[in-house]
């Protein structure tokens, strides 16, 4: 019969102690597994609520008039072409002014005669030969003659129709030889170096739109903004029928591309109350509504929020959050209250993805 191997009592005790020591070393060694969940976070920041207003606007030149003669008369010359650019003071139309020139000469002669008589009375005034009342009458005659001369000059000036400001003249139906009156429109004059674009805004935005806000305008045949301007006037009344008020924007037109009377698509971006802004991936929904996960002392903390507005991949929310709080934006599927997390900023993760390194799945060890 073969002898069976067996362990002595001392050898068995040594074997059990060695196994236990190996187990303790394994549990407490430097290769202990990190049980925290790896996530991507971004610091909380604030952004203003934005409202985009779009409306149809109608334009006019910054200065725009219809030119009428101040008096009746026969047209002697028309000194412009339709669409011509003219400077301030340019004579557009001249009327027959022969009678007015004679009136100016006659008024000058009468003034000279009155002045000579008054000077003569002054020289003899000390001798007592001229009564004080006669001297006063001579002085009044001089003043009246000067007024008549000035009126004659004004009547002569009315015979020429000048451009009151620089701009572009329109079409005219007046020709030399025509007889015109103050009711006759000679032409139009527009200073289109800038346009004033008027548009209607809903009454709910009466407190949000302010003078100085920027607007973008585009013509109907263009999909992109043609020009930009600023609000210069806001109406003081609400239209009781349309429930809107009128705003007017100043739009530069140095390139002379736009024309008075054109209609535009007007867009205004209004900024409201600032709120915390979070990436869409960081907002979750539960039975009680929306919430986000924030990191407090490397632990996940659930914060209920109210969604205010969505803005191109981001969400404005309202909740018990402060600027700089770390919000989890990747890895939210495995979150629960108080869970240990390890994180890196979203910008660092983005650089890793751009370099082709990829991102380890949530819970993966380093």
CATH 1.10.287 fits 97-158, yes or no: yes
d(CA 216, CA 277): 25
Mean pLDDT by 10 residues, the chain (366 residues): 42 39 44 69 85 90 95 95 94 96 96 93 76 88 96 96 96 94 96 94 87 90 78 93 94 90 89 85 88 89 89 86 88 85 65 36 36
pLDDT computed for residue 361 by the predictor: 35
Give the per-residue pLDDT at 21. 40
Q: Which CATH class is domain 37-50+274-354?
A: mainly beta
First to last CA, the chain: 58
Residue 294 · residue 42 · CB < 8 Å: no
Q: Using alpha carbons, select from 164, 275, 262, 274 the residue that is nearest to residue 221.
A: 262
**Class of the 55-62+194-273 domain?**
mainly beta
Supply the pLDDT for residue 164: 95
Q: What is the pLDDT of residue 1?
A: 43
DSSP 114-139: HHHHHHHHHHTGGGT-S-HHHHHHHH
Topology adopted by domain 71-94+162-185: OB fold (Dihydrolipoamide Acetyltransferase, E2P) (2.40.50)
pTM exceeds cut of 0.85: no
Q: What is the pLDDT of residue 126?
A: 67
- pLDDT value of position 308: 86
Q: How far apart are CA 244 and CA 206, in angstroms?
A: 9
d(C-alpha 361, C-alpha 37), whole Å: 9
Helix, strand or coil, per DSSP, at residue 314: strand
CB 44 within 8 A of CB 323: yes
Q: What is the DSSP letter of 100?
A: H
The pLDDT of residue 344: 75
- Residue 298: both structure tokens together: 């490397």
Beta bridge partners of 198: 58, 248
DSSP annotation string for 193-213 = EEEEEEEEEEGGGTTT--TT-
> In the chain, where are the structural domains located?
37-50+274-354, 55-62+194-273, 71-94+162-185, 97-158
pLDDT of residue 157: 95
Residue 49 CA from chain centroid, whole number:
16
Give the pLDDT of residue 352: 38
Beta bridge partners of 327: 42, 294
pLDDT of residue 225: 64
């Amino acid at each position: 019969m073969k002898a069976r191997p067996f362990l002595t009592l001392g050898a068995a005790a040594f074997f059990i102690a060695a196994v236990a020591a190996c187990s303790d070393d394994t549990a407490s060694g430097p290769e202990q597994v990190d049980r925290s969940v790896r996530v991507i976070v971004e610091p909380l920041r604030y952004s203003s609520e934005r409202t985009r207003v779009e409306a149809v606007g109608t334009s006019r030149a910054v200065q725009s008039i219809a030119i009428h003669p101040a008096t009746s008369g026969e047209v002697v010359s028309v000194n412009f072409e339709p669409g011509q650019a003219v400077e301030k003071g340019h004579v557009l139309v001249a009327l027959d002014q022969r009678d007015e020139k004679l009136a100016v000469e006659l008024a000058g002669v009468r003034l000279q005669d009155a002045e000579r008589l008054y000077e003569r009375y002054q020289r003899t005034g000390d001798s007592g030969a001229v009564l004080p009342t006669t001297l006063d009458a001579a002085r009044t005659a001089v003043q009246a003659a000067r007024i008549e001369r000035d009126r004659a000059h004004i009547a002569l000036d009315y015979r020429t129709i000048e451009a009151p400001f620089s701009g572009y003249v329109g079409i005219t139906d007046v020709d030399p030889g025509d007889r015109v009156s103050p009711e006759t429109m000679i032409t139009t004059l527009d200073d289109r170096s800038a346009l004033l674009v008027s548009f209607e805004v809903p009454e709910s935005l009466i407190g949000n739109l302010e003078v100085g806000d920027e607007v973008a305008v585009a013509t109907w045949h263009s999909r992109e903004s043609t020009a930009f301007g600023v609000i210069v006037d806001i109406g003081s009344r609400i239209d009781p029928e349309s429930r809107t008020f009128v705003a007017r924007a100043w739009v530069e037109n140095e390139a002379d591309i736009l024309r008075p009377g054109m209609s535009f698509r007007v867009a205004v971006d209004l900024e409201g109350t600032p709120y915390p802004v979070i990436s869409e991936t960081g907002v979750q929904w539960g039975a009680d509504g929306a919430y986000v996960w924030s990191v407090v002392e490397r632990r996940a903390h659930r914060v209920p929020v109210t969604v205010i507005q969505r803005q191109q991949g981001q969400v404005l929310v309202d909740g018990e959050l402060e600027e700089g709080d770390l919000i989890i934006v990747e890895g939210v599927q495995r979150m629960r209250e108080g869970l240990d997390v390890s994180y890196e900023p979203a910008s660092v993760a983005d650089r890793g993805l751009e370099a082709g390194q990829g991102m380890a799945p949530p819970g993966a060890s380093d």
